[in-house]
Amino acid sequence: MPKLNCLFSLATLGTFATFALPLAAQDAPRINEIIVVGVQDSHTVATDDTLVAPADTAQMLRKMPGANLNKNGELTGIAQYRGMFGDRISVAVDGAQISGAGPNSMDAPLSYAPVALLESLTINRGIAPVSTAQETIGGYIQAKTYSGEFGGREAFEFTGRTYIGTQTVNEGVVASGFFAMTNRNHLIRGFVMNESASDLEFPDGVITPSEYERERFDLGYSFRRGEHTFAVDIARNNTGDAGTPALPMDILSIDSDLFRTRYRHTGTAGTLTAELFGSNNEHWMTNFHLRRPPQDNMMSPGRMRFRQTFATSENLGFNLKYEQYVDNGVWNYGLDGHFTNHDAVVTNPNVGPFFLTNFNDSQRDILGAFVERSLVIGETMGLDAGVRYNRVTMNTGEVGSNLNPMNLPAGMPVMMNNLSSLLANGFNSDDRSQIDNNFEWFARLSLEASRGVIWYVGAARKTRSPSYQERYLWSPMESTGGMADGKTYVGRVDLNPEVAHEIEVGFDWSGANFALYPRAFYKNVTDFIQGTPATSAVANNIAMMMSNMGMGAPDPLQFNNTEARFYGLDVEARYSLSDRLTLRAIANVVRGERKDINDYLYRISPDNVILALDYTSEDWLVSLESISYAAQDRISLTNLEQATEAYSVLNLSGLIEFAAGAELRLGVENLLNETYFDHLAAYNRAYNPDIQTRSRMPGLGRNVYGRLMWYF
């Protein structure tokens, strides 16, 4: 658990603002120390300190206050924080924003930071400052990958880290190596990783398809001298066959090339940080190569319903920040940008002329600027406040389809093709160019009271413009950023940006052997983007015909502006029972509700509690953990959501350091092999004799896992 530093120096403030940079400690000039009152505004899970089994980094969010994940497959975890998820949460990997190629978020941002490469995962607790990222209406998460350290001598030395892991629940295996040549000024690094697994097991059977395979290659170089530090990194992240049973297709391949560069100058007056990053992502998916292919039925031959999709995304972004040190705190100024482009085309490998242009040159560009202030007020009070402006520009190309590839003179394919042409022509004739001018502010006041208590209150106005799916999904499909509710959707070009007004209150109370960090929050969202029953007769008829053929569901939804609210409480706590025995706890309560109608929001995490007892010795530790989830019957009627029952599971883990720099970690998840259903795991979409189609995905069975890490 991170330690609370309620009084910290300006040097620490400068380090926090550039935490996402994978740079080693540098030689910084001495600056005058100014004492500032602050609170624990982040929670970090470090790979070195965490007994982690899964391949998906997003799984680690379950160990953080307020956080969770929506799970559509073993590599496709979508971050959730205080009820919001997906594009509403800003996720950075080593400072870079990544918009994946998959229209259903099969390559969600955290999938670009594999656990075997991860150094730490940090979540901003509560309201994120405007300096953290451009659109943080739902929170901010940053993943930092392991990048090595500069040496202490002129002579070069060889260092590295190996990471080997395995687990029984899917016969998963991962092996990776980090290697570096380093001295006091230069750091040359490389990383290789390979991981694979079979289908997952649960107490009553096997989840198919849920296997995966992935490999990763990185090269990087860092240089430092005096006040200057520079780094450049390139990476190749390749995912092969990977099942996503909660989605209509599985991953055939995701090939991604990533780069990032960073420069930092640390002077006596302030710190300048500049970053440039980008990626090129290509994604193939199918509904036949891992799961059972479509079968013949009375309405159409199975081969006519084979589908494959090729989707791409291009990302380019920059961050430019300057922290100015002044007598009573810090000024923080910044400019940032993120420019994305998306394409996706659906085809049938059995029928060449068939196609549907899902997205064509869909652009979403953001330019932002902010000013932020950290201010000392007397000896016991601190104020952080800032304002931000984002200009969001969106556009897309013309679309089309051929749903009658056999040129039949009559019948359902002809009717569907004619209706699809009507939708496409209407979309193409619309003004698809949209510009949003979004303004944000935040303020946080901290007051140090007696007996180690710091009171906290924060407020903010946050915004988010629609995603490219929400604006430009022209035909009823499930390309919804991983909603995984089984419904088909259509977009709306003229959607308004979401605007959230939120308030958060809490306190930090810590002593010699205890710490308690509760936070209560309320967030009102105007123009909340939510699926509502589609009113287009053309879209409804197409969805009905597709459903009759065995594809999708009838009664599509359309993304529209509604009204919503989120509120709840999350608590992080620890208590040292003795020098070696510590009790840890995390509790989360969140509610998400529509305000325009009497309905709850979809896929909201149930109330949950983690209780853990840790015993620490000189070179080993043991942890017993209980994870309990309440029943979730506050469900979305609009999304036809299914309720889930309460459950609890026990986990046992241990660590032993058997040599210098080497440690072995062993653990058992779901120790008692309980049968349960995870409310955030959505519904089965693939044929499986052990799981009914469109029923809730089951929780995993007993999993024995191990991990060996060696630093050399």
Question: Could you report the per-residue pLDDT of 645-690, keeping only the tens digit for each?
Answer: 999 999 999 999 988 899 999 999 999 999 999 999 999 999 999 9
Q: Is the pLDDT of residue 25 over 70?
A: no
In 3D space, the residue among 246, 185, 170 whose CA is nearest the CA of residue 691 turns out to be: 246
Classify residue 287 as exposed, middle or buried by CB count within 10 Å of its CB (0-12, 13-18, 19+).
buried
Q: Are strands 96-97 and 381-395 parallel, antiparallel or unpaired?
A: unpaired
> Comparing 177 with 379, which gets the higher pLDDT?
177
Residue with tokens 């969600």: 108
Alpha-carbon distances of 305 from 267, 308, 564, rounded to whole Å: 62, 10, 38
Q: Where are the alpha helices (DSSP H) in 501-568?
A: 537-548
Q: Say how far apart CA 373 and CA 395 lie, in whole Å.
A: 35
In a domain, 2, yes or no: no
Q: Say how far apart CA 28 and CA 265 lie, in whole Å.
A: 9
Q: Kindly report, residue by residue over 614-638, the tens digit of the pLDDT.
A: 999 988 999 999 999 999 999 999 9
Kind plus residue range of the DSSP H or E element containing 15: helix 10-17
Domain count, the chain: 1
| DSSP class per residue in 435-491 | EEEEEEEEEEEEEE-STTEEEEEEEEEEEEPPPHHHHH--SSBS-SSS--SS--EE-
What is the three-class DSSP state of 160? strand
Q: Is the pLDDT of residue 546 over 80?
A: yes
Classify residue 634 as exposed, middle or buried by CB count within 10 Å of its CB (0-12, 13-18, 19+).
middle
Answer for the pair 616, 657: CB distance below 8 angstroms, yes or no: no
In a domain, 1, yes or no: no
In a domain, 283, yes or no: yes
Q: What is the Cβ-side half-sphere exposure of residue 587, based on CA atoms within 13 angstroms?
A: 12
Beta bridge pairs of residue 257: 236, 280
Q: What is the Cβ-side half-sphere exposure of residue 464, based on CA atoms within 13 angstroms?
A: 27
Q: Say how far apart CA 642 and CA 131 lie, in whole Å.
A: 39
Residue 597 has a CB neighbour count (10 Å cut-off) of 12
Classify residue 234 as exposed, middle or buried by CB count within 10 Å of its CB (0-12, 13-18, 19+).
middle
Q: Is the pLDDT of residue 504 over 50?
A: yes
Give me the percent of the chain exceeding a pLDDT of 70: 94
Q: Which two tokens stand for residue 600?
A: 């709850």
- Can you tell me the mean pLDDT for 204-228? 97
| DSSP class per residue in 325-393 | EETTEEEEEEEEEEEEEEEEEEEETTEEEEEEEEEEEEEEEEEEEEEEEEEEETTTEEEEEEEEEEEEE
Under 8 Å CB-to-CB from 378, ≥6 apart: which residues? none
Under 8 Å CB-to-CB from 185, ≥6 apart: which residues? 150, 223, 224, 225
> What pLDDT is attached to residue 618?
87
> What pLDDT is attached to residue 45?
83
> What pLDDT is attached to residue 53?
62
Q: Say how far apart CA 500 and CA 137 lie, in whole Å.
A: 7
Q: Output phi, psi for 596, to 5 deg.
A: -80, -25
Q: Say how far apart CA 582 and CA 576 lie, in whole Å.
A: 4
What is the three-class DSSP state of 276? strand
Q: Say how far apart CA 463 and CA 438 lie, in whole Å.
A: 6
- Can you tell me the mean pLDDT for 145-153? 95
Answer for the pair 299, 249: CB distance below 8 angstroms, yes or no: no
CATH code at 639?
Answer: 2.40.170.20
Q: Say how far apart CA 476 and CA 545 lie, in whole Å.
A: 11
pLDDT band at 642 (very low <50, low <70, confident <90, very high): very high
Q: Kindly report, residue by residue over 380-427, the tens digit of the pLDDT.
A: 999 999 999 999 999 999 999 999 998 888 888 899 999 999 999 999
> Comparing 113 with 40, which gets the higher pLDDT?
113
Q: Is the pLDDT of residue 337 over 70?
A: yes
- Can you tell me the mean pLDDT for 221-236? 98
- Can you tell me the mean pLDDT for 107-125? 94
| DSSP class per residue in 396-437 | -----EES-TT--SSSHHHHHHHHHHHHHHHHHHS---EEEE
Q: Is the pLDDT of residue 557 over 60?
A: yes
Answer for the pair 66, 605: CB distance below 8 angstroms, yes or no: no
In a domain, 666, yes or no: yes
Answer for the pair 188, 160: CB distance below 8 angstroms, yes or no: no
Q: Kindly report, residue by residue over 427-456, the tens digit of the pLDDT.
A: 999 999 999 999 999 999 999 987 789 999
In a domain, 153, yes or no: yes
The mean pLDDT of the chain is: 92
What is the three-class DSSP state of 87? helix
Task: Output the pTM of the full model.
Answer: 0.93
Alpha-carbon distances of 101 from 106, 109, 182, 314, rounded to whole Å: 8, 10, 35, 8
> What pLDDT is attached to residue 41?
82
CA 270, 133, 99, 604 dihedral sign is: positive
Q: Which two tokens stand for residue 379?
A: 């000896």
Beta bridge pairs of residue 323: 271, 332
Q: Is the pLDDT of residue 7 over 50?
A: no
Q: Output phi, psi for 266, to 5 deg.
A: -110, 110
Residue with tokens 């879209």: 539
Q: Is the pLDDT of residue 10 over 60?
A: no
Residue 707 has a CB neighbour count (10 Å cut-off) of 24
Q: Which two tokens stand for residue 427?
A: 């979309």
Residue 210 has a CB neighbour count (10 Å cut-off) of 28
> What pLDDT is attached to residue 553?
87
Q: Kindly report, residue by residue over 346-369, the tens digit of the pLDDT.
A: 999 999 999 999 999 999 999 999
In a domain, 355, yes or no: yes
What is the three-class DSSP state of 60? helix
Under 8 Å CB-to-CB from 23, ≥6 apart: which residues? 147, 222, 224, 229, 231, 262, 264
Residue with tokens 């089951």: 698
Residue ranges of E strands in 113-249: 118-124, 140-145, 157-167, 172-182, 186-197, 200-202, 205-207, 212-225, 228-239
Structural domain range at position 130: 7-711
Under 8 Å CB-to-CB from 588, ≥6 apart: which residues? 65, 66, 68, 568, 569, 570, 571, 605, 607, 608, 609
Q: What is the Cβ-side half-sphere exposure of residue 279, based on CA atoms within 13 angstroms?
A: 28
In a domain, 238, yes or no: yes
Q: Kindly report, residue by residue over 31-85, the tens digit of the pLDDT.
A: 334 344 567 788 888 877 665 666 889 999 999 999 999 999 999 999 999 999 9
Give me the percent of the chain exceeding a pLDDT of 90: 87
Classify residue 180 as exposed, middle or buried by CB count within 10 Å of its CB (0-12, 13-18, 19+).
buried
What is the three-class DSSP state of 95? coil
Q: Is the pLDDT of residue 6 over 50?
A: no
User: Cα(first)–Cα(last) distance of the chain, in Å?
Assistant: 26
Q: Which two tokens stand for residue 94?
A: 């080593």
Q: What is the Cβ-side half-sphere exposure of residue 256, based on CA atoms within 13 angstroms?
A: 32
Q: Say how far apart CA 156 and CA 616 lie, in whole Å.
A: 36
Give the amino acid at 326.
V
